[in-house]
Structure 1
Amino acid sequence: FEPLLEAHHRDRVQVYGYGHFLNVDEVTTRLRGKFDYYCDIAALEDQAVAQQIRQDGIDILVDLAGHTAGNRLGVMALKPAPIQVTYLGHPDTTGMPQIDYRITDAHAESEQSRQCSTESLVDLPQGFLWYRPPENAPEVTDAPIVKNGYATFGSFNHQARINKNMIALWSKILQNMPDARFLLELCVGDDEAVKAAYLECFEFYGIPAERIDIHTLSTHEDHLACLGSVDVALDSYPYNSTTSTCEALWMGVPVVTLKGDLHCSRVGYSLLSQLSMEFLAVDTTDEYVTMATALACKPEAISQMRDSMRLRMSASVLCQGDVLARHMENAFEHMWSEWCHKASSPVG
């Protein structure tokens, strides 16, 4: 989101920010400075926030949280702006008639999700997401398969997105490749019981514990280095990863993802489409297993993708915030034009 703020042309849009942050850190402080005007609303009731927005004369109000924790949908329900939009934070419809539009793209929505959306969907032409690579990312190293002689798969998704069905799929891949290993990154600290539960689940599907490496997430630098220690990353389903997928790709690691009907199960497809790597986004669980297995059997292809991935990403719209900003501004201007046309049309 930060690069989008920076890239907006101020002769086209003026950006006001209303922040609900209970814990202020250096990122929060930095973001505040990117807005033309900023108001901290954490201590304000919904009515007071809505009144402030009306006083500020906001034309288009964009919600960035949806139904996630700490949201302020109560403000949106009061309709303080003539046009209200939801974007980025929540991977689905809000179900609120007070929100007019949801910003997305053609790859991120199925016919089913389009029919279920209460908002009008605005498809940005080259993807709805933008990624800024971390400055602390280590250099891309050689694919582990070259040194080890066997493939290493990995999952870097939040554990809330990992269910038994996912572990069953990953186990099928490992059964296809008896020498392969699996790295599972978890944010569980020193909770050995949780780690043991995951290992037991793999063992239930026929994969012994010695083939599974559980890595406990510590620092971001450690996480990025860990990404570089796998050959192929496997996305979660039905809730795809966003940031972890981008980070894996930046570390040169191809990501295999499974598409579904929900927006949250098509984000991987959306990201890969921006890199012209849609072939890694498959439609069925059988194709997921086949793609991961086939990819891991091609060390040269893995190495070629690894060596070229950062250049591919840097040259793509995924890493060009100014392109996304122009598309977003065009969308906002179209929304405003539509509203003005309706407002000026005679009633009846």
Structure 2
Amino acid sequence: MGAGGWAALEAGDAAAAMAAFSTAVGDAPADWDARYGLAAALMQAGQPDGDVLNDARTLHALAVMRSAGADLARLKSDAAYAQQIGLQLYGQHHVACASVAWSMALASGAIDAPGLLNYALSLQHQGRVEEAVQYLQVAVENFPSAALHQFLLFPHLFIDGGERAHAEQSRAWARRWANAPPPAPFPGTPLAGRRLRIGYVAPSFAGSQVRQFLGPVLRAHDPARVEVTLYPASAEGEAGWPDHVKVKPIGQLSDEAAAAAIRADGVDVLADCWGHTAGSRLGVFARRPAPVQVAWINFVQTTGLPQMDYVLHADSAADLDLSDLYVERIWPIGPVFTPFERSADRRPPAASPAKQAGMVTLGSFNHPAKISDGALAAWATVLRNAPDARMLLKYRYFVDPVLQAATRARFAAHGVAGDRLLFEGQSAGEDYLRSFERVDLMLDGWPAPGSTTTLDALSNGVPVLSLCGQTLAGVYSRSILEASGLAELAADTPEDFVARALALVRDIDRLDGLRSRVRPGFESGDCCDGEAFARRLEAAFETMYDLTCDDARRGAA
């Protein structure tokens, strides 16, 4: 029902679409497709109604759960059963369906920290970030803990202007959970020819995304210049590192005991590679086990900890005034924030698929939370003005039919028909690498751009167009593109983003010529020069340590 409504949306006739879908909903109140259409029409008319869209999601999710064998009557009356169904759906990456099950559990009175967290995360993973923040705030207020509070920090980065809110939340976290007593002072003994002792902290190195960034550095570290120790949660799986890299697990130790162990190792510079992500050990840094403490890799924002001395950033971050966003001192580390380890199993370079298909395929492999209203509006503008183009949205949560339908409705509000969108879930190995051969141009999101997804795309020869305005995230994206010789893919405004995208989409030969430059430029650029990055990092850490020793001597004088 409501077929005429979808055509009206594509034509930009919001009034006709609202009339058609309102009639369809009145004739069949359980028709979730008509409700998605009505929600899209209201959005197109500038009258968004979250209740209409939420009703569509709920009806759709219940239909999905019913088809999977769930007992809907029991869902409404048995909170434990609703929680169980939510967990099953979440494990299958059906986050929108899971959110409906968990909302029913909460409505039945099953209000506890895990339930609120699960519900908030299921909202966040759909891109319903503001709602997720509200439930996380409720969770933190009623069930305070350091780990739960950390979940409240990250989603602010998906919201326009959220960098400032994130900084405030980080400081609040530190005041509440990292207020450790001051440790005994360090002697401030100069290196005097000995090797610098560096420690890296993360719950996992070999088994996490950190490997792609830290791996090139660990292999390039000069064992005649530095001693390196990894402090993961467990030693299991931490194999394959160079012989000079020691591994000392701290997962079974309290923050106080882990700090004591690191201090006993005589570490000079301790680098956190995880930030406020789940599994964080920032409580260890609050006890200052090393004279120099640095934030790096997995979290480019402030930790909020006054005990953290520095945060590493690309040189271009110096162009911004970030003083009110950091408690740490920003240390420029070179042209790029980190090096990157490209896959050894990449497929041979390929021409733009549009050369064969005769139509351009745009793509985004980013988390749905990164598809903000502003980014989606720009993408839709490109699609609307390039009627032969289509877009592939690929992420593990896009297997959820409810998330797919809601995303189609958001695009429909901008006049883009749903059949121009392709959805795919997670893939790995060669299947993942082959997926890049199907995309002509990646469109990045904002205010939270891609990171690993951007680097993966460039590594596999796919150009990535990013909005690189005057924000920390924008500076990060710009550093990657400029380091790869692709400055023309760094847009300054949403309007500039759309104009650059359309110029490429409308000229397949130009797009193919750009593609031929992407992989060579990336491979010969600073992102792939782990050796040079390691030398800069070692020099930076040595200088930081020398400055700390100077301060200690002046304080003792």
Query: Shared fold by TM > 0.5?
Result: yes
The equivalent position to 1:20 in structure 2, one of 217, 228, 233, is 233
Distance 1:16 1:43, change over 3 A: same
Residue of structure 2 in register with 1:30 after alignment: 240
Is the alpha carbon distance of 1:276 and 1:141 closer, same or farther for their aligned partners in structure 2, counting shifts above 3 Å?
Answer: closer
1:64 equivalent to 2:273? Answer: yes
SS for the counterpart of 1:84 is strand
Match of 2:408 among 199, 211, 217: 199
Q: Which moved more, 1:333-342 or 1:255-264?
A: 255-264
| C-alpha distance in structure 2 between counterparts of 1:299 and 1:189, whole Å | 28
Is residue 385 of structure 2 the alignment partner of residue 172 of structure 1? no
How well do the aligned residues superpose, as a CA RMSD in angstroms? Answer: 1.9
The alpha-carbon deviation at position 51 of structure 1 amounts to 0.5
Of Structure 1 and Structure 2, the greater strand share is in 1
Is the CA contact 2:276–2:303 (under 8 Å) kept in the aligned structure 1?
Answer: yes
Equivalent in the alignment of 2:340: 131
Match of 1:312 in 2: 521
Aligned counterpart for 2:539 among listed residues 319, 330, 334: 330
**2:325 alignment counterpart:** 116
Relative to structure 1, is the Cα distance of residues 183 and 43 closer, same or farther in structure 2, using a 3 angstrom cutoff?
A: same
**d(CA) in 1 for partners of 2:420, 2:243:** 47
* Aligned counterparts, 1:69-218, within 5 A: 69-108=278-317, 111-188=320-397, 190-218=399-427
In 1, distance between residues paired with 2:439 and 2:244?
Answer: 39
8 A Cα contact 2:442 2:462, kept in partner: yes
Does the CA contact (< 8 Å) of 1:85 and 1:100 recur in 2? yes
Any idea what the Cα deviations from partners look like across 1:310-335, whole Å, max 9, x if unmatched? 22222212111101001101101111
1:228-307 correspondence runs (5 A)? 228-307=437-516
What is the one-letter code of the residue matched to 1:207?
A: V
CA distance in 2, matches of 1:234, 1:34: 41
What is the CA distance between 1:240 and its match in structure 2? 1.1
Mapped contact 2:469–2:491 kept (Cα < 8 A):
no
Runs of 5+ consecutive residues of structure 1 not aligned to the other structure: none
- What is the DSSP-based 3-state SS (H/G/I as helix, E as strand, rest coil) of the residue aligned with 1:227? helix
Deviation by residue 1:113-162 (Cα, 9 ceiling, x = unmatched): 34421111111122222111101221222211211222211101112212
For residues 252-291 of structure 1, give each alpha carbon's deviation from its aligned partner in whole angstroms, at most 9, with x where no partner exists.
Answer: 2111101244423432211111112222112211111111
- Structure 1 residues 21 and 221, CA gap change in structure 2 (3 angstroms): farther
- Once residues 328 and 86 of structure 1 are traced to their aligned partners in structure 2, the CA distance between those partners, rounded to angstroms, is 13
Assess if the C-alpha contact under 8 Å between 1:138 and 1:225 holds in 2: yes
- Alpha carbons 1:107, 1:266 under 8 Å: kept: yes
Larger RCO, structure (CA 8 Å, separation 6 or more): 1
Three-state SS of the structure 2 residue aligned to 1:228 is: helix
> TM-score normalized by structure 2?
0.59
Distance in 2 between the 1:326 and 1:70 partners? 29
Provide the residue aligned with 1:4 in structure 2: 217
Which deviates more from structure 2 when the two are superposed, residues 55-64 or residues 115-124? 115-124
Name the CA distance, whole Å, in 1 between partners of 2:351 and 2:449.
26
Q: Aligned equivalents of 2:217 and 2:459: distance in 1?
A: 20
What is the CA–CA distance in structure 2 between the aligned matches of 1:189 and 1:101, rounded to whole Å?
Answer: 38
Call closer, same or farther: CA 1:114–1:235 in 2, change over 3 Å.
Answer: farther
**Alpha carbons 2:440, 2:463 under 8 Å: kept:** yes
1:35 Cα offset (Å): 5.5
One-letter code of the match for 1:8? H
Q: Which stretch shows the higher mean deviation, 321-330 or 148-157?
A: 148-157
Following superposition, which runs of at least 4 residues in structure 1 exceed 4 angstroms of deviation?
Answer: none
Give the secondary-structure state (helix, strand or coil) at the position aligned to 1:153.
Answer: strand
After TM superposition, the structure 1 stretch with the greater mean CA deviation from structure 2, 105-114 or 196-205, is: 105-114
Q: Counterpart in 1 of 2:254?
A: 45
- Is the alpha carbon distance of 1:88 and 1:11 closer, same or farther for their aligned partners in structure 2, counting shifts above 3 Å? same
What TM-score, normalized to structure 1?
0.93
Cα pair distance change 1:82/1:346, threshold 3 Å = closer
Q: Percent identity?
A: 33
Instruction: Give SS of 1:92's match.
Output: coil
In the alignment, the residues of structure 1 paired with residue 324 and residue 500 of structure 2 have an alpha-carbon distance, to the nearest angstrom, of: 30
Rounded Cα–Cα distance in structure 1 between residues aligned with 2:298 and 2:471:
15
* Alpha-carbon distance change, 279 to 115 in structure 1, aligned in 2, over 3 angstroms: farther
Aligned pair in 2 of structure 1 residues 173, 34: CA closer, same or farther (>3 Å)?
A: farther
Larger radius of gyration: 2
Structure 1 residues 108, 176: closer, same or farther in 2, change over 3 A? farther
